[in-house]
Structure formats: C-alpha cells, structure tokens
C-alpha cells in the first residue's frame, strides 16, 4: 500500500512505529514522468505526491487499521496542503495496489465521512498505484535521525503523539 498524507517525513515517522509494518519507504508516486528529484517534486509541477510505501504483515495489522491510523494522523480534508506544507505534492492520497485495497479504502472513506470524523468532507484521493520512486537517502528515516530538528518537533512529533495516544495497542 502506498499512502500520501503531506510531508513524507511525517507519514514515515508514524508508520515506522506500527506493529506489523515491516518496512516504510519514503518516495514519490502519481506524477507525469520517471525518477523525479526532490526538487522537481517540491516545485509542485510534476504531479507526484510525497508518499510512503508500506510493506506490512496482514496477519498482524490490517489494511483497515492502517487506513484508520492514516486518516487520524493527518488532515484529509485539506486540499493540496498539510499545515504550512502547500502544493499538490502534499495532497492526501491512497494509491491502492489491488482490488481488495480499493474496496476497503472506498468503504472506509464513506464510513469516516458518514461518521463525521472531521467537520469537512475527506478529500483523500483513491487512485490505482502505478510507480514508486525512492527518495534520496537524506530524506529516509528522517525523524529518527533528526528528531530534535524544529520541524520534527513542531510538525512530526504531534502526529506521533496522536498515534501513541489513540493507537497505543498497535505500537511495535
């Protein structure tokens, strides 16, 4: 499963802590050409989103659990932005890899909207996965390596705190 919920540093930090998530890779998906650089994607002109690609054990953590965490740790009602991060590269999107993931993503989006989890409708796109381009090494495992950085403390740590408070039973 490949997810975009704003800056990939944030999404990566959250999913690295989940029991059953084997690997989290930050990169780019959804754009118009192959092998984009961070600078190209950051321009907002390539159509790519900053994403994380998850490899997980479905006997430990389900797609439903992953999507509940995903929708709870970013603002899926904000179009093309998360906080101060603005542009289409920061949009909320689920890139599904198979029909099962598509079905669950659509079902859960409807359920979350009906339950009015947020005051505004969830704008998360649900799109078929086509390609993934790994980010440069300097962007991988960012929160673990730079946790004291002000961006990490101001933007990423609150998302990790939500995870630890609301999903403590799913931490690895």
DSSP string, 26-55: EEEES-SSSS--HHHHHTT-S--EEEEEEE
The domain made up of 2-170 is a member of CATH 3.50.50.60: no
- How many angstroms separate the CA atoms of 123 and 82, rounded? 12
> Taking residues 25-34, what's their average pLDDT?
95
Of 107-111, 112-116, 121-125, 159-163, the poorest mean pLDDT is in 112-116
Q: Which H/E stretch holds residue 4?
A: strand 2-5
Tokens of 117: 């989890």
If residue 170 lies in a helix (H) or strand (E), which one and from where to where? none
Q: Which residues are catalytic?
A: 7
Would you state the pLDDT for residue 131? 96
Is 79 buried (19+), middle (13-18) or exposed (0-12) by CB count in 10 A? Answer: exposed
Residue whose pair of structure tokens reads 């039973």 in the numeric block: 169
Q: What is the pLDDT of residue 35?
A: 94
Provide the terminal-to-terminal Cα distance of the chain, rounded to the nearest Å.
Answer: 19
Give the residue-averaged pLDDT of 96-108.
97
Write down the mean pLDDT value for the chain: 94
**Where along the chain do its domains lie?**
2-170
User: Band of the pLDDT at 27, cuts 50, 70, 90?
Assistant: very high
pLDDT per residue over 68-97, tens digit each? Answer: 999 999 999 999 999 889 999 999 999 999
What does the pLDDT read at residue 140?
94
Binning pLDDT at 50, 70 and 90, where does residue 115 land?
confident
Contacts of 40 (CB under 8 A, 6+ apart): 46, 48
pLDDT at 116 over 80: no
Chain segment 118-154, per-residue pLDDT in tens: 889 999 999 999 999 999 999 999 999 999 999 999 9
The predicted pLDDT at position 114 comes to 87
């Amino acid at each position: 499963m490949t997810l975009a919920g704003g800056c990939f540093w944030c999404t990566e930090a959250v999913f690295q802590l989940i029991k059953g998530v084997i690997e989290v890779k930050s990169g780019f998906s959804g754009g118009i050409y192959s092998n984009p650089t961070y600078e190209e994607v950051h321009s907002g002109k390539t159509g790519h989103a900053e994403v994380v690609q998850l490899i997980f054990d479905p006997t430990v953590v389900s797609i439903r659990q992953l999507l509940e965490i995903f929708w709870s740790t970013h603002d899926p009602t904000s179009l093309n932005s998360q906080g101060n991060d603005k542009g289409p590269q920061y949009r909320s999107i689920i890139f599904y890899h198979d029909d099962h993931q598509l079905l669950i993503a659509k079902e859960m989006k409807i359920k979350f909207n009906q339950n009015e989890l947020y005051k505004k409708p969830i704008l998360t796109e649900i799109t078929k996965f086509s390609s993934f381009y790994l980010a440069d090494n300097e962007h991988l495992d960012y929160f673990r390596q730079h946790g004291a950085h002000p961006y990490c403390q101001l933007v990423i740590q609150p998302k990790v705190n939500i995870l630890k408070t609301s999903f403590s039973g799913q931490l690895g």
